[in-house]
Structure 1
Amino acid sequence: METALTRLTGVRHPVVQTGMGWVAGPRLVAAAANAGALGILGSATMTPEQLRAAVREVRSRTGEPFGVNLRADAEDAGERVDLIISEGVRVASFALAPSRELIARLKGAGVVVMPSVGARRHAEKVADWGADAVLVQGGEGGGHTGEIATSVLLPQVVDAVDVPVVAAGGFHDGRGLVAALAYGAAGIAMGTRFLLTSDSTVPDSVKSRYLAASVADVTVTTAVDGLPHRMLRSELVASLERVGRIRALVRAGRHAAGFRRISGLSWRQMYREGMRLKHGKDLSWGQVLLAANTPMLLRAAMVDGRTDLGVMAAGQVTGVIEDVPSCADLLARLMAEADAALAELHGLATRPPWT
């Protein structure tokens, strides 16, 4: 299926595997790319050295295009941009709007720039700055999320910008792809659906928790880091919501220290990260400290399998996913479903009005 997204990135199918921290590593990204999707490495939880090694591992596993997700507000964002340029990465995606300068540097090197946005005005801004495409996530999506449903947000963004729009939040099958195309999108992006594949390195015990969850078992909470965060309900989430402020800050400080050791950041760098996070948001310093806690809570579940100690970011589609296919099987099934849906719609459009 050819769309503006496939032409822009060189992939076979208009599907993006999102750059989830601790989840979107070389194995999953390469498998998604080999299956015809745009696989994206989640680099926010990697040091620059780890990112370079991960990029090279992906390239050793596939000859297909892939991307890297970057945090635009990270202190070393410029260094990471230089890295993906030197390594010949095809696509740079961003969790936050990159600066005009970063976009220009990437485009000048032939890298496709695709920021993620959660509002029409953000899409308009990055498109005006030269972004090649935008990924728009509605409130159904996992992780940090907004309040506007994809079905409302997506057509707003499609009408507002002249670049390809990729729809995220609430997608898991071929029918969803066709729905997104009908709204004017050039493709879809999926996180939870790719997390629940056999190519994902998330422990099987954690995948079982996702498969057992219903739609009602996915919640949005601010207890983890002070920002709306969509994840699976768990005893840990419930305890974070019950715990007092002082105990929450002590716990957050302990986990922040652990993340500092793993990430290689100094306390000074983490302070600067906190300042950037606080900028433009109505966050207390306690919430900033809680935000530093989040990577470690995610790692505990996604890497170590400790659902009692970690949190599990999850889109609402968790409640309707029932299997763990390979990326190859998932993409083959999804595209077959899309073809069937398109054929059915074509039949409706061409029937005489009296039938």
Structure 2
Amino acid sequence: MTGDSGGTGPAATLSTPFTELVGVRHPVVQTGMGWVAGPRLVSASANAGALGILASATMTLEQLRSAVREVRSRTDQPFGVNLRADAGDAADRVALIIEEGVRVASFALAPSEALIGRLKDAGVVVIPSIGARRHAEKVAAWGADAVIVQGGEGGGHTGEVATTVLLPQVVDAVDIPVVAAGGFRDGRGLVAALAQGAAGVAMGTRFLLTSDSTVPDAVKAEYLAAGVKDITVTTKVDGLPHRMLRTPLVASLERSGRPAALLRALRHAAGFKAHSGLGWAEMVRDGLAMKHGKDLTWSQVLLAANTPMMLKASMVDGRPDLGVMASGQVAGLIDDLPSCAELVGRIMSEAHETLRSLAALEAGVAVPGAPTGTG
């Protein structure tokens, strides 16, 4: 890990195996959040020197192609596309990524060895997101170039193991770059992750809460008003542990019985069918793939239709009373909406300040005013 010879301003960099792998200036990733990580946010993240990742699960193939081209029209920096490995058209989406010359393919679930090989043969960097050491070992053995490891603090679908426990397990288990996710917002967190062997950090909620994010202002205000204890984990949206803001709607979902949940899921499945253009046969096919990949019950597969439409209600339509707001616990510490350029520049400045403080500490020099971080 090396820094440049410049100061601690926005241009200060840290070179790690991750930045060298994907060709970005800073070891920071903006994650592929459904309905949030669109062309505007991704290009702003990329122009700030981070790796922006476009979320494609809620897009049709043609919408994805259009989004990729829009990102490219806004930036000449590397960016990635996040894919659902269990989607029925995953192979077609991989072909699109290759045709369009996208630098990075990330996956919410472990992709098959064949998909990894196809992407790598085309020169695409493959970075799956994982939540357990054994999953990291599996995709590394299959040829993944790096992994994003998310601890339980992270938003959306999440596990039970904290980042500080999961990260060193994965770092010790694989010999590819590991990017830490779950609980990060500033330069101090970046340095902490690097100290545990990570090659960078990935952030979702922190990038959602920027001025470049297209999430409606009223929804951003809900996040900014939340405290750490206002962020909960529920299984009532789609049957899987899902970290989100605790709202009156979430409280009502927690109280609802199974018949009401299944009826809601059917309604949302019809809504997603209309939005995506998928036929019922294709949705059933994807459900079968999801059921196999996650070992779900049929009730859970049906409930999965809730996730995209309930997120859309908040993140696109601006109706938190009708939708849910996936969130990392770190939202309780965030109180501002910087641009992506301001955010990344601030993170890197704080990281360098923290590294200098640690170096002085090692040398036995008192350091007044050590960095405190800013939301």
Q: Could you say which TM-score interval applies, normalised by the shorter chain?
A: over 0.9
Q: In structure 2, do the counterparts of structure 1 residues 242 and 341 end up closer, same or farther at CA, with 3 Å as the change threshold?
A: same
Question: 5+ residue gaps in structure 2?
Answer: 1-13, 367-375
Asked if 1:37 is matched to 2:50, the reply is yes
Trace 1:206-285 onto structure 2 (pairs within 5 A): 206-279=219-292, 281-285=294-298
**SS in structure 2 opposite 1:136?**
strand
1:295 equivalent in structure 2? 308
The alpha carbon displacement at 1:301 in A equals 0.2
The structural deviation recorded for 1:280 is 5.2
Equivalent residue for 2:341? 328
Q: Summarize the alignment of residues 12-161 of structure 1 with structure 2, pairs less than 5 Å apart.
A: 12-161=25-174
Provide the aligned length of Structure 1 versus Structure 2: 353
Cα deviation, 1:311-337, whole Å, max 9, x if unaligned, reads 000000000001000000001111000
Q: What is the CA–CA distance in structure 1 between the aligned matches of 2:308 and 2:239, rounded to whole Å? A: 14
1:350 and 2:360 equivalent? no
Q: 1:340 to 1:245 in 2, by over 3 A?
A: same
- Name the SS for the 2:361 alignment partner: helix
TM-superposed CA distance for 1:352, in Å, is 7.9
Which residue is equivalent to 2:206?
193
Deviation at 1:21, TM superposition (A): 0.5
Instruction: Give SS of 1:279's match.
Output: helix
1: CA distance between counterparts of 2:337 and 2:294?
A: 38
* Cα separation, partners in 2 of 1:56 and 1:231, compared to 1, 3 Å: same
The structural deviation recorded for 1:115 is: 0.4
The secondary structure found in structure 2 opposite 1:272 is helix
Residue identity matched to 2:145: D
Q: 1:281 to 1:100 in 2, by over 3 A?
A: closer
Report SS of the residue matched to 1:113: strand
Superposed CA offset, 1:251-295 (max 9, x none): 110011000110111111111111122225453322211111210
Q: 1:75 to 1:282 in 2, by over 3 A?
A: closer
Q: Which runs of 5+ in 1 are unaligned?
A: none
Residues 177-196 of structure 1: per-residue CA shift (max 9 Å, x gap): 00000000000000000000
Aligned partner of 1:234: which letter?
A: T
User: What CA RMSD, in Å, does the superposition of the two structures yield over aligned residues?
Assistant: 1.1
| Partner of residue 325 from structure 2, selected from 278, 293, 312 | 312
CA deviations 1:111-133 (Å, max 9, x no partner) are: 00000000000000000000000
Letter in 1 for 2:90: A
Q: Which position in structure 1 is the counterpart of 2:182?
A: 169
Identity of counterpart residues, as a percentage?
76
Does the C-alpha gap of structure 1 residues 60 and 349 become closer, same or farther in structure 2, counting only changes over 3 Å?
same
Distance in 1 (CA, whole Å) between partners of 2:348 and 2:43 is: 19
Match of 2:370 in 1: none
Q: Give the conservation status (yes or no) of the 8 Å contact 2:86–2:293.
A: no
Distance 2:257 2:21 in 1: 49
Deviates more, 1:55-64 or 1:288-297: 288-297
Divergent runs of 4+, >2 A: 280-284
TM-score by length of 1: 0.98
In structure 1, the residue corresponding to 2:184 is in which secondary structure? coil
Q: Which residue of 1 aligns with 2:194?
A: 181
